[in-house]
Amino acid sequence: MKRSLPVVAFGVVILVAGVVNGLWTDRWHPAPEVREAASRLSQIPTRVGDWQGTDLSLTEDEVRAARLTGYCYRRYENVRNGHVVTLLVVCGRPGPISVHTPDVCFTGAGYKMGGAIVPCNVQYGMQGKEAVFHAVQMNSDESAFQSGIRVLWTWGAGGNWQTPSSPRYTFAKYPSLFKMYVIRSKTEEEVRPEDDPSLAFLRLMLPEVDTALFDTP
């Protein structure tokens, strides 16, 4: 009898680990607090300043593969200067949302990194808040004309936007997690990173997003 105890104990550990992982990653169904968090995405405005948004859609396969509980996906165009950025904010359990970064996802879609991933801090709002982003240039050679995009991304929880070195562990304590992407196509007349239209867009949009998702302007 005593010799079987380690086997039983090991089985219990595996079972508990499986249940915890299943709950953490929403393997079976979204928890109510995750659904509530995802419902807030609909409050992100379609217009901010001179930027007018048009809704876009992910496929069911994309939503299922990324284990998203909800998302806001829009193309925003500045009606004054014609600049265009794409905003994607997704929500789900921390496990799935903390992975699938652009340097992996876009590589699978035919892009390759055009440089190193660099930090990009955006100050915004009346209180001088700061959102910390990763930024990377992704290039594609699959068409006759070389094209590329600049991608910024960050994770949001507890009212802050940050890019920790280990997001899977940093955000494990939260019931839900947001991830934000801002994507801009490469243009003929490239600008310095600090003059990227994406930053002007974010300075206007981030206070609105914070109000919608975290009830904090």
Does residue 25 share a domain with residue 70? Answer: no
76 with 107, same domain: the answer is yes
pLDDT at 211 over 60: yes
Tokens of 68: 């998203």
Task: Tell which wins on pLDDT, 177 or 110.
Answer: 177
Domain shared by 46 and 25, yes or no: no
* pLDDT bracket for residue 14 (50, 70, 90): very low
- 77 lies in the same domain as 128: yes
pLDDT digits (tens, 9 = 90+) for 57-108: 999 999 999 999 999 999 999 999 999 999 999 999 999 999 878 777 776 6
The answer on 73 and 135 residing in a single domain is: yes
- Tell whether 23 and 85 lie within a shared domain: no
Of 16-25, 43-52, 177-186, 188-197, the one with minimum mean pLDDT is 16-25
Are residues 41 and 134 both part of a single domain? yes
Residue-wise pLDDT tens digits, 101-141 = 877 777 666 788 888 999 999 999 988 899 999 999 888 76
Pair 117, 138 in one domain? yes
Q: How many domains does the chain have?
A: 2
- For 155-164, the pLDDT digits (tens) are 999 999 999 9
Same domain, 10 and 40: no
Instruction: Give the Cα separation of 42 and 49 in Å (integer).
Output: 18
39 and 9, same structural domain?
Answer: no
Write out the chain in H/E/C secondary structure: CHHHHHHHHHHHHHHHHHHHHHHHCCCCCCCHHHHHHHHHHHHCCCEECCEEEEECCCCHHHHHHHCCCEEEEEEEEECCCCCEEEEEEEEECHHHHCCCCHHHHHHHCCCEECCCCEEEEEEECCCCEEEEEEEEEEEECCCCCCEEEEEEEEEEECCEEECCCCHHHHCCCCCCEEEEEEEEECCCCCCCHHHCHHHHHHHHHHHHHHHHHHCCC
**Residue 24 lies in domain:** 1-29
Backbone angles phi, psi at 157, to 5 degrees: -160, 145
Q: Say yes or no: 62 and 144 in one domain.
A: yes
The pLDDT score that the predictor gives to residue 187 is: 60
| Domain co-membership, 13 together with 38 | no
Q: Is the pLDDT of residue 9 over 50?
A: no
